[in-house]
Amino acid sequence: MKKFIYVLFMFATFNLWACSDSEPSTDGGEEVVDKTTDCQSASEKGAYTTWYKPANGWVGDPIPYYDDGKFYIFYLQDWRSGYPFLHPWHMVYSTDLSSFTFGGETIPCGKEEEQDVALGTGGVIKDRTTGEYCAFYTGHQWKWQEMGVPTQAILLTTSRDMKTWTKKGEHNFYLSLRGQSGYVENDCRDPHVFYDEEDGLYKMVVTTHTNAGATLALFTSKELQNAKAWTLQEPLYTDPAIWVMECADVFKEGEYWYLTYSNVADRKVHYRYAKSLKGPWIKPANDIFDGIAFYAGKTMSNGKERYLAGWCPTRIGDGDPDQWGGSLVCHHMLFNADGTIDLKLPDGIDKKFTTLKKTVLIDKSGKAVKKENSYVLSDVASVSFPRLDKTCKIEATVKATGDEDVFGFAFGACDDKTEVYSIRFDLKSKKMIMSKDDLTRGTTPAQTDVTLAVPADKQFKVKIVAEKSVCVMYVNDKIAFSNRIDKMPKNPWAIFTDKGTEISFSDIKVYE
């Protein structure tokens, strides 16, 4: 890694001398190409359109739901305004997940003395008897703890048109773990409701904790909207190794039942699968979706494809000391015959970018040779390209040769050498690693990583969708790797090798 840092250092130093007085140049007279390398900063204010965020505030836990040709994403609106009123439910909808229309506030926070003064996540389902849409959600009231009353409870709101929602009120629907032996009463949240065709029952999983560890409590009922009809059963799943399983989701695809949840300790989304809801639940060799910059993932299906929706967190500089909430990110889930799951870029987003931009070389360092439509890099080398001015999709095919090759993509590759972000493919460790590099000190502290499936031919088809500071990379329609890179927008980017005999980057394309 230090060798690559040295090359980038020399590259940045050269460009400071060579390009500091240059003007934007043209390539063939067809398109203005900015070859300057001074560092620029981009504003995070305003809305995102692809990796959605509202014009004001941020996206918290998504509650995805599909109905009648539309994907509805309910989410906890993060105003970052402080207690006691937190996280009203807002909603956006889309036909293909490439852009979103705001659908308004669906569940407001309650009054200061009500159970739902602060809202938590939940789930949406249609009542098979009445046809109503039912949103089950968490109501959190801190004051109740002083009175010996559970601070968290499950509440209900309904709608007939997805536009106007009516709270049932805690006197008409209230479900908690009060008096249930072995359960932590104040930990009763994140309800997810689904219908089990085999049993003819509605089932609700609730995030809680028992002496056995993190627990997903299970309630069942024949009457969706009758709180008294819900009966507590044996837990669906427990994990003694962790404290809590947040934002759980349960669904069936093919012959398998799937369980997904977020672990607050490692900040990652995990999954299990089984032939029956009674288990045994199988933990795959790689049970994690994405990295630490993708959280609170829950799923939705249009009957043909299933998608995983979560949020990519902001950073501390955005007034977010807990790094909770950010921008909406959606992955397309692919289900393998053995029960494992891969992730790919949703087709709607893939097809959104149609304007092909010129990938003009700004400069190269080390052993980098251009061959027709590819760049071949050896040992330690880099090639840089113009600024990412707009939301875009980058495509490339990378072909490695050695079992220990290290190569990747770098962002924010401008004149400031103290902060360059790289996403490395490390074939020896079989990981993709995002690191923040200080070229003046020779350090590359890892920020996050994901498991890299290395094919026998060592070929990687890469797609990157970048919007403002959100960078989501997809590899071989198997792996998704989300990151927030504040220095990415408005600055040059690069390809590089840190170790390798001959690595080819071909068919490099940028679409807007």
35-90 residue pLDDT tens: 888 888 888 888 999 999 999 999 999 999 999 999 999 999 999 877 667 899 99
266-302 residue pLDDT tens: 999 999 999 999 999 999 999 999 999 999 999 999 9
116-135 residue pLDDT tens: 999 999 999 999 999 999 99
Question: Which of 283, 286, 310 lies closest to 299, judged by CA?
Answer: 310
Asked whether 65 and 44 are in contact (CB, 8 A), the reply is: no
pLDDT, average across residues 8-20? 39
> For the ranges 153-167, 201-215, 344-358, 428-442, which has the lowest average pLDDT?
428-442
- Residue 142's pLDDT is 84
- Residue 441's pLDDT is 60
Say which CATH class 2-43+356-511 falls into: mainly beta
446 pLDDT exceeds 80? no
- Residue 316's pLDDT is 65
pLDDT, average across residues 384-393? 94
> Regarding predicted confidence, which is higher, 44 or 375?
375
- Residue 44's pLDDT is 82
Question: Where is 349: in which H helix or E strand?
Answer: helix 347-350
pLDDT, average across residues 423-430? 96
Confidence of residue 25 (pLDDT cuts 50, 70, 90): very low
What's the CA gap between 489 and 487, in Å, rounded?
6
- Residue 194's pLDDT is 99
3-class secondary structure per residue, 15-50: HHHHHCCCCCEEECCCEEECCCCCCCCCCCCCCECC
Say whether the peptide bond before residue 313 is cis (omega within 30 degrees of 0). Answer: no
User: Which residues lie below 8 Å from residue 401, measured CB to CB, with a gap of 6+?
Assistant: 458, 500, 501, 502, 503
User: Which residues lie below 8 Å from residue 509, measured CB to CB, with a gap of 6+?
Assistant: 356, 359, 394, 395, 396
pTM: 0.93
- Residue 372's pLDDT is 84
> For the ranges 152-161, 199-208, 311-320, which has the lowest average pLDDT?
311-320
Confidence of residue 14 (pLDDT cuts 50, 70, 90): very low
250 pLDDT exceeds 50? yes
Q: What percent of the chain has pLDDT over 90?
A: 77
- Residue 439's pLDDT is 57
The CATH architecture of the domain made up of 61-350 is 5 Propeller (2.115)
List phi, psi (to 5°) of 240: -70, -10
Question: What are the Cα distances from residue 314, in Å, to 47, 319, 326?
Answer: 14, 9, 5
321 pLDDT exceeds 80? no
3-class secondary structure per residue, 393-452: EEEEEEECCCCCCEEEEEECCCCCCCCEEEEEEECCCCEEEEEEEECCCCECCEEEEEEC
Given the DSSP bridges, would you call strands 479-484 and 470-475 parallel, antiparallel or unpaired? antiparallel
> Regarding predicted confidence, which is higher, 322 or 328?
328
- Residue 215's pLDDT is 98
- Residue 317's pLDDT is 60
- Residue 358's pLDDT is 87
Strand spans (E) along 347-391: 356-357, 363-371, 374-385
Q: What percent of the chain has pLDDT over 70?
A: 91
- Residue 501's pLDDT is 80
- Residue 38's pLDDT is 85
pLDDT, average across residues 448-468? 98
- Residue 136's pLDDT is 99
What's the CA gap between 372 and 187, in Å, rounded?
60
259 pLDDT exceeds 60? yes
Confidence of residue 443 (pLDDT cuts 50, 70, 90): low
> Regarding predicted confidence, which is higher, 153 or 501?
153
Mean pLDDT over the full length of the chain: 91
pLDDT, average across residues 202-221? 98
Is 56 strand, coil or helix? coil
- Residue 499's pLDDT is 85
11 pLDDT exceeds 50? no
Longest Cα pair distance anywhere in the chain, in angstroms? 76
Domain boundaries, the chain: 2-43+356-511, 61-350
Confidence of residue 315 (pLDDT cuts 50, 70, 90): confident
- Residue 15's pLDDT is 43
